[in-house]
């Protein structure tokens, strides 16, 4: 019983850090405008040094056919005018999807960690999914964080509906090379690069490849 009580308490703590999707842009002024408070240190990444923004195109498989819930979905890239077919982008490789919004304070804490992970040679493909947001706020937010991975804008909610996401942020999913999708629940929020590596590694037995 004691172990059950401890596990329940840890779950409640994790859930308390997430933000409800019933919130909306502007509920949290600092996050929604992408500005930092005086106590936050500036991020030092490749983008902060003036290098090109991450592109949404990725490397596509020439032979595999897209399958799964994302196969027929196309959404605009946040950093470029391109419209991205998610089935083509993710087919044949493992992809880590991270749902976020500019008004989500926990997202601001988690996304730099994802950015550091994405720059590792052994990392799987990382793609942000911006939801329930104002595009200009989202773009400023992503630029402010100088992220090393791209995001698409789920303006019509099609990606969220396809994956039947719960009304919380942030959320992460692994897309398998065959197009099937697995939600990451351990941990609910990444606190370190090691957290991400461990979560991906735990899923690897069921993942045919990157």
As to burial, measured by CB atoms within 10 angstroms (0-12 exposed, 13-18 middle, 19+ buried), residue 4 is exposed
Question: Phi/psi of residue 64, each to 5°?
Answer: -75, 150
As to burial, measured by CB atoms within 10 angstroms (0-12 exposed, 13-18 middle, 19+ buried), residue 126 is buried
Number of domains in the chain: 1
Question: Does residue 13 lie within any of the structural domains?
Answer: no
Question: Does residue 166 lie within any of the structural domains?
Answer: no
- Does the bond joining 87 to the residue before it have cis omega, within 30 degrees of 0? no
Question: Does residue 108 lie within any of the structural domains?
Answer: yes
What is this structure's pTM? Answer: 0.75
- Domain housing 197: 74-147+171-209
**How is residue 52 written in tokens?**
């090109």
**CATH value at residue 126:** 3.40.30.10
| pLDDT tens, N- to C-terminus, the chain (210 residues) | 554 444 444 444 444 445 666 555 544 333 333 333 333 333 333 344 344 456 686 555 545 688 899 999 999 999 999 999 999 999 999 999 999 999 999 999 999 999 999 999 999 999 999 999 999 999 999 999 999 999 999 999 999 999 999 999 999 999 989 899 999 999 999 999 999 999 999 876 554 545
């Amino acid at each position: 019983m004691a172990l059950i009580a401890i596990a329940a308490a840890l779950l409640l703590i994790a859930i308390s850090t997430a933000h409800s999707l019933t919130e909306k842009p502007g509920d949290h002024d600092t996050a929604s405008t992408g500005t930092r408070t005086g106590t936050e240190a500036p991020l030092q990444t490749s983008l902060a040094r003036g290098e090109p923004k991450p592109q949404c195109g990725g490397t596509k498989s020439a032979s595999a056919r897209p399958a799964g819930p994302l196969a027929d979905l196309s959404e605009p890239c946040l950093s470029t005018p391109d419209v991205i077919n998610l089935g083509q982008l993710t087919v044949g490789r493992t992809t880590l999807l991270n749902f976020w919004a500019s008004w989500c304070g926990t997202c601001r804490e988690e996304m730099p960690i994802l950015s550091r992970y994405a720059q590792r040679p052994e990392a799987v493909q990382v793609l942000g999914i911006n939801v329930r947001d104002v595009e200009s706020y989202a773009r400023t937010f992503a630029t402010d964080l100088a992220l090393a991975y791209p995001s698409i804008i789920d303006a019509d909610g099609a990606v969220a509906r396809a994956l039947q996401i719960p009304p919380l942020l942030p959320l992460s999913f692994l897309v398998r090379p065959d197009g099937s999708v697995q939600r990451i629940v351990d941990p609910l929020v990444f606190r370190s690069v090691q957290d991400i590596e461990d979560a991906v590694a735990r899923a690897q037995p069921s993942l045919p490849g990157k």
